[in-house]
Amino acid sequence: ARESAAAAEAKLAEAKAAAANARAEADELQGSAASAASGAAEAQALRGQLSETAKELEAARAGGAEAASRAEELKAAVAVLSQENEKLEGRLGKEKEKVAKAKEMLRAAQAEREALQEAAGEAEALRERLEKEIRKSEVQACDGQLPTAADDAGDDAKALAALNQELVSAKLAAAEAEAQLASARAQAQAQQEAAEAAKPGAVHVALLASAGPPYGLVAAINSTLAHAAAATLPRLRFHVLAPPSEQPALARKLARIFPAEVRLAITSPPSDKLAKLAPKLGAVGVQTAPFEWPLLWLHLALPADVRRVVLLPTDAVVRTDLQELASAALHGKAGAAFEDCSVTFDALFNYRHPLFRDRHGRPSCSLDSELLLLDVKAWRKEEAPKQLLELVGFQRRNENLFLQPVAALSPHVPAQLLLDKRVLR
C-alpha cells in the first residue's frame, strides 16, 4: 500500500509538472495570438496606407497626364501665337510703310502749300504796288503833269485785273492744297492709329462688380475667354472694379473659379476721387453712389500704361474675340460705342433745348453707354468726365432738356449727349 501511495504521489507530481508546462505553453500561445492579432492590425493598417498611396499615385498619374495635355495645349497655343506674331509683324511693317508714305505726302503737301502761300503773298504785294501806281497816275493826270495818264491808267487797270485773276487762282490753289493737306493729315493719323492698333499688346477689359453673388461677372469673363483666339488669350487683362469692402471675398471666389493663368486684377476706384464726387452729385439731386458712375472715374482707376480699355457690363455674354473691338480704328475719336436704334434721341431729349438743338440730331440712335471702347488718354484730354457732370442732375443749364426729368439722375441718359460726338458709332 505504501509503495502504491508513493507511486501515486510520483504520478501526481508528474501530472502537476505536466499541468505547469501546459499552462506555460498556453500562456505562450496566448502571447503569440496577441502578437498575431497585433500583426494583423498592423497589416490591415499597412494595407489601408498602401491603398491610399495607390490612390494618390493614380491621382498623380492622372494629374501628370492632365499636365502633359495642358503642356501640349500651351505648346500649340505658343506655336499659334508665334504665327500670329509673324503675321502681325508683317502687317505692322506694311502699316509703317504706309505711314512713312503718308508722312512724305504730308511734307510734300506742306511744301506746296507754303510755296502757294508765298506766291499769293507776292501777288498781293504786286497788286498793292500797282494800285498805288494807278492812284499816283490818276493824281498826276488831274494835275496835268501826265498827258497820257488815261492810257497808262487803262493799261494798269488791265494789268491789275489780270493780277487779281492770278491772285484768285493762287488763293484757290492754296485752298485746294490746304484741303489736300488736311486729308493727308487725317489719312496719316488713321494709318498711324491702325498701325498702333495692329501691334501685339495687352487687351484690357474693365468690369464693374455689383453687389451679391458674382454670377454675371463670372459669365462675362468666362465667355470672353471661351471666344478669344489662341493669340488673344495670353494677352487678356481683366480689371475687376469693386468697393474695397467687397474685394477680399470677391478675390477668394474668383480664385476658386479661374486658374492662375487668367490675368485678373481686383481693384477699386480712387477713394479720394469718389469722396469729391459724392457732394457734387448730391448738390444736383443725384443720390446714386459715385461708384455707379464709372465714366466719371474709370480713367483714374486703371494702370498708367493702359492706352485702351473695353468697358464690359457684367450682364454681357461675349460671343466674339474682343481683340477685334479693342483694335478698332477710332479715327481721332475718344472711343467707340454700339448703337441702339430701338430708342432715338428725340424720345429722350427736348430737341428744342439749346444744349441739344445746335449739336445733336433728333433721329440719332441712342448708344450703349455700358459697353464701350475708350481711348483713355483722349478721354482724359477732352475732360469728358467734367463735361458729363455738367449734364447730370437738376441744374439750370439742363433744365427742360430731358423729356423725363428723372432721366437726369440716370448714369446712362446724360451720357448719350456726352458720347454722341466723341465716340465712333
Candidates 156, 166, 157, 158; CA nearest to 121 is 166
Q: Determine phi and psi for 376, rounding to 5 degrees.
A: -60, -40
Asked if 350 and 256 count as a contact pair (C-beta separation under 8 A), the reply is no
pLDDT category at 140 given cuts 50, 70, 90 is low
- Which 3 state secondary structure label does DSSP give 83? helix
Residue 237: strand pairing partners:
204
All three cell numbers of 150: 488815261
Report whether pLDDT(60) > 80.
no
224 or 83, greater pLDDT: 224
Across the range 147-169, mean pLDDT stands at 63
Task: Report the pLDDT value the prediction gives residue 119, as an integer from 0 to 100.
Answer: 72
- C-alpha–C-alpha distance, residues 313 and 241, integer Å: 11
Domain ranges across the chain = 97-192, 203-424
pLDDT category at 129 given cuts 50, 70, 90 is confident
Task: Report the pLDDT value the prediction gives residue 196, as an integer from 0 to 100.
Answer: 52
Give the chain's length: 425
Q: Are strands 264-267 and 236-241 parallel, antiparallel or unpaired?
A: parallel
SS (HEC) of 321-337: CHHHHHCCCCCCCCEEE
Across the range 89-118, mean pLDDT stands at 74
- Which 3 state secondary structure label does DSSP give 305? coil
What whole-number percentage of the chain has pLDDT above 70?
84
- Residues 376-389 have pLDDT tens digits of 999 999 999 999 99
C-alpha dist (Å) from residue 30 to 15, 17, 18, 44, 395 = 22, 20, 18, 21, 100
Task: Report the pLDDT value the prediction gives residue 252, as an integer from 0 to 100.
Answer: 93
Residue 37: strand pairing partners:
none
Across the range 107-129, mean pLDDT stands at 75
CATH fold for the domain made of 203-424: Spore Coat Polysaccharide Biosynthesis Protein SpsA; Chain A (3.90.550)
Crossing angle (nearest 10°) for helices 2-142 and 149-198: 180
Task: Find cell 495570438 and name the residue.
Answer: 33
Candidates 238, 422, 415, 417; CA nearest to 330 is 422
Asked if 264 and 233 count as a contact pair (C-beta separation under 8 A), the reply is no
Rg of the chain (C-alpha set): 44
Categorise residue 144: left if φ over 0, alpha if ψ from -120 to 50, beta otherwise. Answer: left
Candidates 372, 366, 380, 377; CA nearest to 325 is 372
- Residues 309-336 have pLDDT tens digits of 999 999 899 999 999 999 999 988 999 9
Task: Find cell 459724392 and name the residue.
Answer: 278
**b (16+ CB within 10 A) / e for 320-339:** ebbbebbbbbbeebbbbbee
Asked if 257 and 241 count as a contact pair (C-beta separation under 8 A), the reply is no
Across the range 206-227, mean pLDDT stands at 93
Reported in sequence order, the residue ranges of 345-407 that DSSP labels E, i.e. its strands, are 365-375
Candidates 354, 371, 366, 364; CA nearest to 316 is 371
Position 190, amino acid: A
Task: Report the pLDDT value the prediction gives residue 121, as an integer from 0 to 100.
Answer: 76
- Which 3 state secondary structure label does DSSP give 160? helix
Report whether pLDDT(26) > 90.
no
- C-alpha–C-alpha distance, residues 338 and 31, integer Å: 87
Asked if 153 and 137 count as a contact pair (C-beta separation under 8 A), the reply is yes
| pLDDT, the chain, mean | 83
Half-sphere exposure of 88 (CA within 13 A, CB side): 18
Q: DSSP state, 411?
A: S
pLDDT category at 185 given cuts 50, 70, 90 is low
